């Protein structure tokens, strides 16, 4: 079974890059399951029902979120009905939406979990370890895939060493910068950060002129997303359905 995981889709540039490249990715990699991180999809912060529906129409089996999950008020009107949308388990508010999507493939149950780092993050509740233990108890499945939405490499590596025997794939998201450390560690596929799908000529998807000015003056400005042409960042991973363990991982970056 091949999983394609596409990293943080930022604004219109990211959405356009996704739409443009997905047919090529499908043809070249022939993935079975498609997972997207959509937490920056609506003008850099959050996701709307319209954008979520467009991802489902493109074939997304699961859309994960992160620290901006609740940035758009619209989310509260549809998150409980959006059965392919998951939000970080250990982030407040805890009482809306779900944090696990169970996918089925050739008789196997594949659980996709959304977990939130604590290091340099806001509004977290439990630790990632407490979260993973609870999610595993509450959601029995054959194969586990984790979107670990966090800031630091150290925290993501600690999680890998805590759960390589429980998870088949751990993908880091949030930093928007793809790391070159994709690996198979004792049968678990891992990359510290898959990187973003958003404007290539930008600061992490944001308008670079604005961010430079903010850094120069220390004065906060309105959050502007870059409209420059988008790049796409992803990993594909092969999972042996019998053993649940690794047979391949490769990272992808498609530049404009």
Residue among 21, 43, 68, 149 flagged as catalytic = 68
Extended beta strands in the chain, E state: 2-6, 33-37, 62-64, 85-86, 100-105, 108-116, 143-149, 169-173, 183-185, 188-191, 232-239, 246-254
208-237 binders of Fe ion (CB under 5 A): none
Structure tokens at 33: 């399951």
**In the complex, what is the shortest distance from the CB of residue 8 to Fe ion, in angstroms, rounded to a whole number?**
7
Tell me if residue 68 is catalytic: yes
Q: How far is the CB of 174 from Fe ion (least distance, A)?
A: 4
What residues pair up with 251 in beta bridges, in sequence order? 235
**Closest separation between CB of residue 94 and Fe ion, Å?**
18
Secondary structure of residue 156 in the 3-state scheme = helix
Cα four-point dihedral sign 30, 34, 40, 43: positive
Cβ proximity of 32 and 5 under 8 Å: no
Considering the complex, what minimum distance in angstroms separates the CB of residue 11 from Fe ion? 13
Stretch that binds Fe ion, among 58-66, 91-99, 151-159, 162-170 (CB under 5 A): 58-66
Stretch that binds Fe ion, among 59-67, 179-187, 230-238, 241-249 (CB under 5 A): 59-67
**Residue 67 binds Fe ion (CB under 5 A):** yes
Indicate the residue among 16 and 64 with the shorter CB distance to Fe ion: 64
* Closer to Fe ion by Cβ: residue 67 or 131: 67
- Helix H or strand E encompassing 242: none
Of the pair 44, 111, the CB lying nearest Fe ion is at 44
Q: How far is the CB of 150 from Fe ion (least distance, A)?
A: 9
Q: Which residue has the tokens 């399951």?
A: 33
Would you give the binding string for Fe ion spanning residues 117-146, x where CB under 5 A is met? ------------------------------
Is the Cβ of residue 101 or residue 174 nearer to Fe ion in the bound state?
174
Buried b (16+ CB within 10 A) or exposed e, 121-131: beebebbbeeb
Determine, following the binding rule CB under 5 A, whether residue 174 of this chain makes contact with Fe ion: yes
- Applying CB under 5 A, the site for Fe ion has a residue count of 3
Nearer to Fe ion, 174 or 189 (CB): 174
Contact by Cβ (8 Å): 177, 193? yes
DSSP codes joined into one string, 6-30: E--B-HHHHHHHHHHHHHHHHHHH-
By CB under 5 A, residue 176 contacts Fe ion: no
| Catalytic machinery residues | 68
Q: Where on the chain is the footprint of Fe ion (CB under 5 A)?
A: 66-67, 174
């Amino acid at each position: 079974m091949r999983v394609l995981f596409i990293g943080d889709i930022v604004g219109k540039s990211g959405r356009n890059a996704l739409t443009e490249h997905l047919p090529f990715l499908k043809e070249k990699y022939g993935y079975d399951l498609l997972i997207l991180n959509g937490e920056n999809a609506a003008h850099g912060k959050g996701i709307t029902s319209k954008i979520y529906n467009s991802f489902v129409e493109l074939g997304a089996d699961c859309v994960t979120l992160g620290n901006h999950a609740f940035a758009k008020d619209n989310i509260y009107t549809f998150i409980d009905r959006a059965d392919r949308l998951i939000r970080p388990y250990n982030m407040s508010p805890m009482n809306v939406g779900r944090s696990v999507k169970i996918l089925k493939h050739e008789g196997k149950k594949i659980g996709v979990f959304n977990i939130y780092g604590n290091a340099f993050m806001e509004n977290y509740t439990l630790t990632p370890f407490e979260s993973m233990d609870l999610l595993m108890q509450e959601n029995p499945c054959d194969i586990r895939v984790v979107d670990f939405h966090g800031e630091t490499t150290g925290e993501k590596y600690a999680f890998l060493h805590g759960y390589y025997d429980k998870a088949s794939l751990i993908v880091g998201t949030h930093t928007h910068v793809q790391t070159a450390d994709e690996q198979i560690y004792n049968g678990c596929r891992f990359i510290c950060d898959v990187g973003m799908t958003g404007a290539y000529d930008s600061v992490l998807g944001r308008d670079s002129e604005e961010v430079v000015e903010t850094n120069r003056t220390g004065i906060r400005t309105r959050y502007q997303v870059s409209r420059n042409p988008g790049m796409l960042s992803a990993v594909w991973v092969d999972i042996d359905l019998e053993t649940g363990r690794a047979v391949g991982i490769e990272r992808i970056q498609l530049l404009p």
